[in-house]
């Protein structure tokens, strides 16, 4: 498979598993656990089933692609002994088995959302966190050794979970604001305002974790001695692009919290919510687009050698 195909699979896994963790987490802290009213606007059960099935396919395909890259053989003629060795004798194989188990647990849980929504949301959040966390073993975070290696891996894990929480929140907000308010009445607007208030403090924590762990990861992968020449490599240019886009996301998140959220609350009082929802919708669409591009850059970066390994 071409390098573009490998990057596409990595990107799709970041998006898919990030949503599997971030969506139920959002329902837990911002929507009160996903009761019946919430499910009518954010159908978590069907969404999780679709994401799980896609995650299973992408996980198996990604593992086979890595095995194919090691042997130079096409996907249609895999080295079964190597695949078995990778699956049973490496951390990468263990991570895959843990991920598949977490994904399988999510299927019956999704079917029970109507009966025990809060229990299912909590279980889905935990299983989603495990599935997303296993991606750390397929990136640079698992390449370190000794205590420093464990610190790098832990930082990478927290970074993945924080990113998944943010991506899931953006997706949930988009599901709430994209439909036309006129066709859904005031209930959707009130639920969106409730979610925005619930996300305000959590969003600050997420951003803080992303900044701290991103800085730690950069120091591990770049090193202070390579910072001056960072922009002379493809890896450095991609990292710079990621940081610029992340700064743009921070700006939009600040706009949402300090301008658009108060505007929506005021619009509800004045019974003029459609305009405020339109502005919020536009901001979230752009923020979601930036998140998708950033995850693509992260997937690309994972296929390149960072400065510290050169």
Under 8 Å CB-to-CB from 83, ≥6 apart: which residues?
Answer: 63, 64, 67
Residue 310: pLDDT band (50, 70, 90) is low
Q: Which domain holds residue 69?
A: 1-138
Co-location of 161 and 289 in the same domain: yes
- The whole-angstrom separation of Cα 72 and Cα 94 is 23
User: Residue 287: pLDDT above 80?
Assistant: yes
pLDDT recorded at residue 309: 61
Mean pLDDT of 150-178: 92
Residue percentage of the chain with pLDDT more than 90: 37
Quick one: pLDDT at residue 9? Answer: 92
Report the alpha-carbon distance of residue 201 to residue 186 in Å, rounded: 25
pLDDT, residue 134, reads: 94
Alpha-carbon span 37 to 149, nearest angstrom:
45
Q: Averaged over 236-256, what is the pLDDT?
A: 91
CA distance 204 to 54: 30
Across the chain, what does the average pLDDT equal? 84
Specify the higher pLDDT residue, 135 or 67.
Answer: 135
Mean pLDDT check: name the lowest of 70-79, 172-181, 262-271. Answer: 70-79
Distance in angstroms (rounded) separating the CA atoms of residues 237 and 304: 12
Domains in the chain, number: 2
- The whole-number pLDDT of residue 56 equals 96
Q: Are residues 69 and 30 in the same domain?
A: yes
Same domain, 176 and 32: no
pLDDT in the model for residue 224 = 64
Pair 188, 282 in one domain:
yes
* pLDDT (0 to 100) of residue 209: 95
Do both 57 and 163 map to the same domain?
no
The domain boundary, picked from 113, 138, 163, lies at 138
Task: Average the pLDDT over 263-273 and give the result.
Answer: 76
- Is 210's pLDDT higher than 60? yes
Indicate whether 100 and 184 sit together in one domain. no
Choice between 207 and 182, residue whose per-residue pLDDT is larger: 207
Percent of the chain with pLDDT over 70: 87
Domain stops at, among 86, 112, 138: 138
Q: Are residues 199 and 56 in the same domain?
A: no
- What is the reported pTM? 0.89
pLDDT of residue 208: 94
153 shares a domain with 72: no
Q: Are residues 115 and 159 in the same domain?
A: no
- pLDDT, average across residues 121-149: 82
Mean pLDDT of 225-246: 82
| Residue 245 and residue 99 share a domain | no
Query: Do 116 and 238 share a domain, yes or no?
Result: no
Question: What pLDDT is attached to residue 274?
Answer: 77
Averaged pLDDT for residues 88-102: 90
265 pLDDT above the threshold of 90: no
* Each residue's pLDDT tens digit, 4-42: 888 999 999 999 999 999 999 999 888 876 666 566 778
Whether 134 and 153 share a structural domain: no
Which of 85, 110, 138 is the last residue in one of the domains?
A: 138
* Calpha distance 55→77 (Å, rounded): 23
- Binning pLDDT at 50, 70 and 90, where does residue 77 land? confident
Q: How confident is the model at residue 183 (pLDDT cuts 50, 70, 90)?
A: very low
């Amino acid at each position: 498979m071409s390098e573009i195909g490998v990057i596409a699979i990595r990107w799709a896994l970041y998006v898919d598993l990030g949503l599997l963790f971030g969506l139920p987490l959002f329902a837990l802290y911002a929507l009160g656990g996903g009761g019946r009213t919430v499910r009518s606007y954010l159908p978590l059960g069907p969404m999780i089933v679709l994401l799980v099935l896609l995650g299973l396919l992408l996980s198996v395909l990604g593992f086979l692609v890595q095995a194919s890259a090691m042997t130079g053989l096409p996907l249609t003629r895999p080295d079964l002994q190597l695949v078995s060795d990778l699956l049973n004798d490496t951390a990468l194989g263990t991570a895959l088995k843990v991920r598949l188990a977490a994904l399988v647990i999510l299927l019956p849980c999704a079917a029970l959302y109507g009966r025990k929504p809060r229990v299912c949301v909590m279980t889905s959040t935990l299983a989603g966190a495990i599935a997303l966390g296993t991606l750390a073993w397929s990136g640079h975070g698992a390449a370190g050794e000794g205590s420093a290696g464990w610190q790098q891996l832990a930082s990478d894990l927290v970074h993945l979970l924080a990113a998944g929480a943010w991506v899931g929140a953006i997706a949930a907000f988009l599901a709430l604001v994209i439909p036309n308010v006129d066709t859904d009445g005031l209930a959707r607007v009130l639920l969106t305002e409730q979610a925005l208030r619930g996300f305000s403090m959590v969003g600050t924590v997420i951003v803080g974790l992303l900044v701290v762990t991103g800085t730690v990861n950069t120091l591990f992968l770049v090193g202070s001695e390579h910072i001056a020449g960072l922009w002379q490599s493809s890896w450095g240019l991609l990292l710079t692009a990621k940081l610029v886009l992340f700064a743009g996301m921070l700006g939009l998140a600040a706009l949402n919290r300090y301008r658009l959220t108060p505007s929506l609350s005021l619009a509800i009082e004045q019974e003029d919510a459609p305009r405020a929802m339109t502005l919020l919708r536009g901001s979230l669409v752009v923020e979601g687009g930036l998140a998708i591009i950033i995850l693509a850059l992260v997937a690309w970066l994972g296929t390149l050698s960072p400065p510290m390994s050169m």
